[in-house]
Amino acid sequence: MHSAKHGESQPTPTTIASDVTEGASDAGPAIAGPDRGTLLTVEVPRGTVVLAATPIGNTGDASARLRALMEHADIVAAEDTRRLHDLARRLDVHVNGRVVAFHDHNERAKADGLLDEVEAGACVLVVSDAGMPTINDPGLSIVRRAIERGLPVTCAPGPSAVLDALALSGLPTDRFCYEGFLPRKHAERVQRLRSLQAERRTIVFYETPHRIADSMDDLLSAFGPDRRMALARELTKDYEEIRRGTIAEILDGVVMDPPRGEIVLVIAGASEDEARENSASTLSVEELAVLSIDRALEDGLRIKDAIAEVIEEHPLPDGSLANRKQVYSAVLEIKQ
């Protein structure tokens, strides 16, 4: 362990020689090749926060840097300390530094204390349960505070389900947006999806098996049956599966054969026509009222039903809908 000494003005990095193949895979024997047994030189920087990605299922995806950092960081801030030790056991790595729990509920409170140690010369490694810290996982607080305090922060990148699923989806990767998990509540989910109806970029969501059927129903309502998508599950694991098709086809598959395990949804962006049709409303309440009156006359609807239709078709930029009462009042004023 590299103990942090107060007053050290220029902490020097520690260089570690690491055997990159030993114990590298739990999915079978390590593949023999020219690199077998090669010694890599890995730097463990002093006086620095290091975010490191951990495997999202396949232990073989652990990088040489991750292993060296787990072994030689002064402090390991882990989302779940038991899972850290479990990973260390699978990697045959000994964690020499102090291990502290660093999760959603305490990361803000703990960030400054850890950064005091960084200031004193420690290497603080931040890892989450799986994948990249900060991507729907803890880590952002310490990055922000490190930036504010002018302390070095770096990253040992690696597996993350977003990029894995995106790359395997077969959908455009040149422009994409990551939306994390959809809201749990139906009304909020519908509003979020409405706000994405005109999104031209490929959209990536994280999802869970117990909400996938409801989310697929809402995706179909928001984007229509024919939009292309991919459902990626259990990435990097033995039962990795990628289902590709239209939203209607994937929904059918979800009903017939509910997917288990960890899931990422990748949805194609809107076509130019869809984007134009769905672009967020900048219509005023008065304009919505005029449209509603026209709709009621043309389709023989009650004015309240016409208003409901019109405001549904013209969501506001955040996906919410205009206030029905306000549109109704505007209709009454126009009719006077």
Q: Is 160 or 292 the residue whose CB approaches ligand SAM more closely? A: 160
Of 58 and 96, CB closest to ligand SAM: 58
Beta bridge partners of 265: 205, 231
Nearer to ligand SAM, 159 or 269 (CB): 159
Question: What are the φ/ψ torsions at residue 179 (nearest 5 degrees)?
Answer: -110, 5
CB of 165 to ligand SAM, least distance (A): 7
| Min dist. Cβ of residue 54 to ligand SAM (A) | 9
What's the closest the beta carbon of residue 224 comes to ligand SAM, in angstroms? 24
What is each CA distance from 50 to 143, 179, 182, 313, in whole angstroms?
9, 25, 29, 47
**Residue 248, H or E segment:** helix 247-256
Beta bridge partners of 261: none
Cβ closer to ligand SAM: 254 or 327? 254
Q: Give me the residues that bind ligand SAM (CB under 6 A), please.
A: 56-57, 128, 130-132, 135-137, 160-162, 206-208, 232-237, 262-264
| CA 96 – CA 73 distance, rounded (Å) | 7
- Main-chain phi, psi angles of 131, to 5 degrees: 80, -155
Closest approach of Cβ 311 to ligand SAM, in Å? 33
Q: In angstroms, what is the minimal distance from the CB of 256 to ligand SAM?
A: 20
Contacts of 132 (CB under 8 A, 6+ apart): 51, 53, 157, 158, 159, 160
Q: How far is the CB of 55 from ligand SAM (least distance, A)?
A: 9
**Roughly what angle, to the nearest 10 degrees, separates helices 324-335 and 303-313?**
130
Minimum distance, C-beta of residue 241 to ligand SAM, in the bound complex (Å): 10
Residue number, 224 or 261, with CB nearest to ligand SAM? 261
Taking the least distance from each CB to ligand SAM, the nearer of 208 and 284 is 208
Closest residue to ligand SAM, judged by C-beta, is 131
What's the CA gap between 334 and 336, in Å, rounded?
Answer: 6
> Do 232 and 169 meet the contact criterion of CB atoms below 8 Å apart?
yes
Nearer to ligand SAM, 36 or 260 (CB): 260
- Say if CB 209 and CB 261 are below 8 A apart: yes
Dihedral over alpha carbons 164, 170, 174, 178 (to 10 degrees): -50
- H or E element: which one contains 178? strand 176-181
Q: Shortest Cβ distance from residue 284 to ligand SAM (Å)?
A: 40
Residue 52 or 310 with smaller CB distance to ligand SAM = 52
Give me the least distance between CB of 180 and ligand SAM, in Å please: 8
Which residue, 39 or 213, has its beta carbon nearer to ligand SAM? Answer: 213
Tell me the CA distances in angstroms from 333 to 287, 299, 306, 326, 329, one per residue in order: 12, 21, 16, 11, 6
Nearest to 178 by CA among 157, 158, 209, 199: 199
